[in-house]
Amino acid sequence: MIAVDIVDFAINKKADVLILVSGDADFIPALELAKKNNGDIFSASIAKGYSRELREKFPFFAIGKNKIMEECMKE
């Protein structure tokens, strides 16, 4: 459960930086809670389907779909 892990890592100081690789706005409540306990929260996703609300609330970077395919499809 990604949202639970995000909150757990932030509250228990298991990481200095948390990066969510998803464009789903459903993670916003967990990220907001984590941000209160851990200052550096980022998100990353491919541009299509990347929640506008998520991009507005947290620093983000969009991943090019072609780049993902090139890296994942290596032989």
Give me the percent of the chain exceeding a pLDDT of 90: 51
Question: Where do the structural domains in the chain lie, given as residue ranges?
Answer: 2-72
pLDDT in tens, 45-54: 888 888 999 9
Give the torsion sign (CA, 53, 51, 37, 61).
negative
Homologous superfamily (CATH) of 2-72 is 5'-nuclease (3.40.50.1010)
- Whether residue 58 is predicted with pLDDT greater than 80 in this model: the reply is yes
Q: Are 38 and 18 in contact (CB under 8 A)?
A: yes
* pLDDT surpassing 70 at residue 62: yes
Distance (Å, whole) CA 37 – CA 45? 23
Q: For residue range 8-21, what is the model confidence (pLDDT) as tens digits? A: 999 998 988 999 99
pTM score above 0.95: no
Supply the mean pLDDT for the chain. 85
